[in-house]
Each structure stands twice: as structure tokens, then as C-alpha cells.
Chains A and B, each alone.
Chain A
């Protein structure tokens, strides 16, 4: 299971676009990249998942370069309510037989008014 590295914290202002990059140099061929958001006293909430290139949904975009050794979560026009911890995870159920998420310390995003 690939280890991930993210910045410990980031500050941004309301209305700005925020990009959080995650490094996963040992990502395996079958690994997907998944991002979660966690607010205090709540469980992680699924944001987006991707394998390569670009994935977009109603809340975020995920950019994955061709070598897949990193990925960038992009949050457009953040608001104060986006202040949270963001986790980048890599894993695959079919190769390993289990889906054992490995959470790092995540990135603490603070959105300022």
C-alpha cells in the first residue's frame, strides 16, 4: 500500500481556488486515488476518486499526471465552511484482497474571511 505525503496545513481566503497536492511515489498499477474531507467531531466524507488524468464532480476536481506519482485536489471558490482536514489515500481492493485505508495526518485547510 502506497504511502502518501501532503502539506500539513494551508491557508486560503474565501472565493479563492485551493489546490492540495499529494505525493504517492510508490503507487501501484491498480491503485486508485481517493480524497476525503473531515470536519471536527465527524467522520471522513468522500470527496472524489480517480485513476488517471482528470476527474470532476460537483464539489471538486482531481488532477493526476501521467506518471501517477502525485495528484492534486482542486477546490474552486472555497468558503469558510470548507475549513477542514483533507486526506489523500491510495489503495486497491482487488490486488491486496482488502481495502485497508492508510490515513496520514492530512492537510488542515483554513479558509479566512
Chain B
């Protein structure tokens, strides 16, 4: 999945710590999406952002989770006070956003493990 860069690829946190996941979209893409995947399941939509704007966060848990896509720099998914249930793979995708029905391109994800 060349183009969309996510880091770190693996992240280990203890319960109560904060996790920060970063996503750099493909060059020329201004729309970013975050998804979460549990083992043996499909990806679940979390949030859709454009530069400096959250467009749709209907899939985000109401507490502890936040996302941003600043004017400069990568998009950040932030999870505060992590719990065991936050363990999952988190994928970021991007699209140009200015043309009809352009598919999303995904990164290889960040695997978050909570001890």
C-alpha cells in the first residue's frame, strides 16, 4: 500500500496511557479516513476529515477518542486513557476528494496492543 504512510506500525501501551497514531495521506490527497479492525472482522469506519475540519465522526466512541488533520503535518488519531478493548488494528485511508467516486487508498495500519 505505497503512498499512505502510517506510524508506528506497532504500538504497545499500558492501561491508562495515551496512544497517538499518525497518518500521512498520499500526495495530493486532502481527505483522510480512519477505520478500526478487530481480528477476523471487517474494518469499521471511525472518522472522516479534511484539512482542519472533521466532516463525519459518527463512528468515533464518544469519550477518549479524538482525531485531527491540521493544515500542516499528518492526521493524528488520539486515544486517551487506553483500555484493553482498544487493542485493534487502526487503518488510515486517503482520497483526492475533488473528483467523483475516487476510491480510498489505505495504509498498512497501526497495531495497538494494550497491556
List residues of chain A with CB under 8 Å of any chain B CB: 32, 34, 36, 41-46, 49, 51, 87, 92-94, 97-106
B109–A42 contact, CB under 8 A? yes
Residues of B within 8 A of A98 (CB): 48, 55-56
Interface secondary structure of A, over-half rule: loop
Closest to B55 in A: A98
B41–A105 contact, CB under 8 A? yes
Shortest B18–chain A CB gap in Å is: 24
B56–A103 contact, CB under 8 A? no
Closest to B9 in A: A41
Known: A49-B101, A100-B45. A43 touches B56 (CB 8 A): no
Q: Please, could you name 16 A-B residue pairs with CB atoms under 8 Å apart, sorted by A?
A: A34-B103, A36-B106, A42-B1, A43-B93, A44-B106, A46-B103, A49-B101, A87-B42, A92-B101, A98-B48, A99-B95, A100-B56, A101-B33, A101-B104, A102-B45, A105-B42
A43–B101 contact, CB under 8 A? no
Closest to A44 in B: B106
Taking residues whose C-beta sits less than 8 angstroms from the other chain, chain B's interface range is 20 to 34
A103–B48 contact, CB under 8 A? no
CB < 8 Å A-B pair total: 66
Residues of A within 8 A of B33 (CB): 99, 101
Residues of A within 8 A of B1 (CB): 42-43, 45
Closest to A87 in B: B42
B43–A44 contact, CB under 8 A? yes
Residues of B within 8 A of A99 (CB): 31, 33, 48, 95, 104
Closest to B58 in A: A100
B100–A94 contact, CB under 8 A? yes
* Of B41, B56, B101, B111, the contact of A32 (CB 8 Å cutoff): B101
Q: In the complex the two chains form, what is the Cα distance from A72 to B103 in whole Å?
A: 18
Q: Is B91 an interface residue (CB 8 A)?
A: yes
Q: In the complex the two chains form, what is the Cα distance from A100 to B60 in whole Å?
A: 13
Residues of B within 8 A of A43 (CB): 1, 4, 91, 93, 106-109
Closest to B41 in A: A105
B106–A93 contact, CB under 8 A? no
B48-74 contact mask (Cβ, 8 Å, vs A): 1 or 0: 100000011011000000000000000
